[in-house]
Structure 1
Amino acid sequence: MKLSLSLQQSFEAPELVLKRSYIKKVVESTLRHIDVDQDCEIGIACVDLDESHKLNLEYRQKDKPTNVLSFPSDIPEEVLPMLDALPIGDLVICIPVVLQEAIEQQKTPIEHFTHMLVHGTLHLMGYDHETSDEDAEEMEALEIEILKKLGFDNPYTVKED
């Protein structure tokens, strides 16, 4: 499986230096973990509070910025065999929200960013945590397994002082 990554960084923060190779590794690890073996394409945009707020309001009718938005590809099934790679969709990650949540959750910025990248990629592949408790448990279990492979702790465990 090869991954084609389009990365747009309109917001950067010194406490979270993102390397294209790292992002690609995380997405590839996520896709492999759920047994995706075909070549894929993904777009990722790292944005500020205003852009996240605008998109969250437009697409989810929520009047606030959010950590990650997932926009799965809507290419018709009959077109897919004509493509060299499966376009799985786009992620929009709001860096200021991720940084604030990292502080609140007592995580490093890269730890929380990685979680949001895995979380968003799973959404692009059809996983959901809002439909049922069973779906939420399945998605969280996958996130825990993938993050463990990447060297991170369970993101749902509350750290004690």
Structure 2
Amino acid sequence: MPLPELSLSLQFARFDDVARHRAALPRHRVARCIRHALELPAEITVRIVDAEEGQQLNREFRGKDYATNVLTFDYAQAPLVMADLVLCAPVIAREAREARRSLADHYAHLLVHGTLHAQGWDHETGDEDAEAMEAREIEILAGLGVRNPYR
């Protein structure tokens, strides 16, 4: 079965060490991760930000005053998925280092995670939903050649 179509905008804010994050996120890899997690065609913007912008967005839209790894802003789920994914580079780099994972693999996980959120998946609505979302992430990541991020 062919993968859903994707219109992708990939943006990088200006911050220290942006070159390392660009190297971990070539456009074709970002598109591949997202397309494997999609159930429908999509228009998605991915923006890689610094901690300041990540914290500001998390505070403004979620009421949480810290930078988080990924924020998903979903605007439509059918017949076309429309969303913005905001990934916070310093948080992702720290998490990857702490988990002893490559930066590229951690980004792959969070791209899949954010794309599932854009389609209505939610791990914060209960244990059953969290387990289902985690299982779907593991399945998608395995197909991308990325090891289970929950081990």
The alignment's TM-score, normalised by the length of structure 1, stands at 0.84
Out of 8, 20, 26, the residue aligned to residue 19 of structure 1 is: 26
Distance verdict in 2 for CA 1:145–1:74, change over 3 Å:
closer
Pairs aligned (count): 144
In 1: Cα distance, 2:69 partner to 2:21 partner = 16
Out of 5, 9, 26, the residue aligned to residue 2 of structure 1 is: 5
Tell me how far 1:74 sits from its aligned partner.
4.8
Post-superposition Cα deviations, 1:134-161, rounded to whole Å, max 9, x if no partner, equal: 000000000000010100111000xxxx
State the Cα RMSD in Å.
1.6
1:117-128 pair list within 5 angstroms: 117-128=111-122
Kindly provide the amino acid, as one letter, of the partner of residue 133 in structure 2. Answer: M
Q: Percent identity?
A: 47
Kindly provide the amino acid, as one letter, of the partner of residue 136 in structure 1. Answer: A
Distance verdict in 2 for CA 1:121–1:101, change over 3 Å:
same
1:16, 1:110 within 8 Å by CA — same for their partners in 2? no
1:1-161 pair list within 5 angstroms: 1-11=4-14, 12-14=18-20, 17=23, 18-31=25-38, 36=39, 38-74=40-76, 86-157=80-151
By percentage of residues, which structure has more helix?
2
Tell me how far 1:88 sits from its aligned partner.
2.2
Kindly provide the amino acid, as one letter, of the partner of residue 63 in structure 2. Answer: Q
Structure 1 residue ranges, 4+ long, deviating more than 6 angstroms after superposition: none
Post-superposition Cα deviations, 1:49-74, rounded to whole Å, max 9, x if no partner, equal: 00000000001111110100000115
The alignment's TM-score, normalised by the length of structure 2, stands at 0.89
Distance verdict in 2 for CA 1:63–1:125, change over 3 Å:
same
Unmatched segments (≥5 aa) in structure 1: 81-85
Post-superposition Cα deviations, 1:87-114, rounded to whole Å, max 9, x if no partner, equal: 4211000011100000111111011111
Greater C-alpha Rg: 1
Q: SS of 2:128's equivalent?
A: helix
